[in-house]
Structure 1
Amino acid sequence: MSIPLTFSVAPFGLEPLDAFTLTPVADTDGLFTLVGSGTTASGASEPRLYLLDAAVHLPSYAPSLSDAQASSIGLTDPAEAMLLVVATPGATGTTVNLLAPVVVNARTGVGAQFILEDQDLPLRAELARA
């Protein structure tokens, strides 16, 4: 089942898009595609990112959002947050961006990609195989 999402600010590199569809990848647990509706400023049509559900793949990952960040997506209860990380497959493995997660307010379908300040998290962390 695909979920329409609205971003309060376009994800990095996908400007000026604010409408996306989050779709689970078939036969996987916690892997999604995020597809933009339209064309980015750089000319990519319907760009696609792979996102992992942090609760499934990175259970100890617990970044802190600022009050302003939470407020920007209408998040008032942490239980309503869906925490996703951008996954980049490579020839020797997959990396995930822990410094700039995508957070979705599950109640409203509003999301944003946030840069976490004052948190020592990697931009490209190797994803360990289970």
Structure 2
Amino acid sequence: MSALEFVTPPPGLSPHTSFSLDEVEGGGGLFTLTAADDPRVRLFAVDPGAVVDDYSPTLSDAHVADLGLAESADARVLVVARMTDEGIGVNLLAPVVINRRTGVAAQVILEGQDLPVRALLS
């Protein structure tokens, strides 16, 4: 388990900013993000390398500064996953970015990048 502190609440999860990140055993890169003060507030995230080829988002200078990232290796990127009528979808346009050293996190919107909000996994 890792403790995370979001710079602002993730969309739809206000006012929560403190979360735990837990890997789902046997989940192949699947994680849960659970609000520290309310375990009913939870979302699923996945390591994009486990489900999407060639995903390499570019963070803005503002995102890098907000997260205190000194180098690219400090960033851990996860994408939010959810069940839809069509199957499991991931949001590639708004990944969760975590500073591995500090636990500071944000769900960022990638500007100027042609990525889908809902990419269905096959």
TM-score, length-scaled by structure 2: 0.93
1:90-130 CA-partner distances (Å, limit 9, x unpaired): 344100001100000111111100011111111111112xx
Among 47, 50, 62, the alignment partner of 1:56 is 50
State the partner residue of 1:99. Answer: 93
Distance in 2 separating the partners of 1:19 and 1:30: 21
Question: Which structure 1 residue ranges, 5 or more long, are not aligned?
Answer: 40-44
Question: Which structure 2 residue ranges, 5 or more long, are not aligned?
Answer: none
State the partner residue of 1:28. Answer: 27
Q: Matched residue of 1:46: which SS?
A: strand
Aligned residues: 122
Equivalences for residues 5-24 of structure 1 within 5 A: 5-24=4-23
TM-score, length-scaled by structure 1: 0.87
Distance in 2 separating the partners of 1:31 and 1:117: 25
1:29-53 CA-partner distances (Å, limit 9, x unpaired): 21000001235xxxxx631100001
State the partner residue of 1:112. Answer: 106
After TM superposition, the runs of 4+ consecutive aligned structure 1 residues lying more than 4 A away are none
Q: Quick check: 1:103–1:111 contact (8 Å CA) kept in 2? A: yes
Q: CA deviation at 1:71?
A: 0.9
Q: CA deviation at 1:59?
A: 4.1
State the partner residue of 1:79. Answer: 73
- Identity within the alignment, %: 47
Q: Quick check: 1:21–1:34 contact (8 Å CA) kept in 2? A: yes
Distance in 2 separating the partners of 1:67 and 1:92: 35
Residue identity opposite 1:65 in structure 2: L
More strand by share: 2
Distance in 2 separating the partners of 1:55 and 1:82: 11
User: Cα RMSD over matched residues?
Assistant: 1.4
